[in-house]
Amino acid sequence: MTSDTSLRPVSPLRARMIEDMTVRGFNEHTRRDYVRHVRSFAAFIGRSPDTATAEDLRLFQLHQTRTGLQPPSINSAVSALRFFFTVTLDRPDPRAGSPSCRGRGGSRRCSASRK
Beta strands in 46-106 (DSSP E): 99-104
Residue-wise pLDDT for 45-75, tens only, equals: 999 999 999 999 999 999 999 999 999 999 9
Is 34 within 8 Å of 49 (Cβ atoms)?
no
Residue-wise pLDDT for 81-103, tens only, equals: 999 999 999 998 776 555 555 55
CATH class of residue range 10-112: mainly alpha
Q: Enter the pTM of the model.
A: 0.76
Each domain of the chain, given as residue ranges in start order, spans 10-112
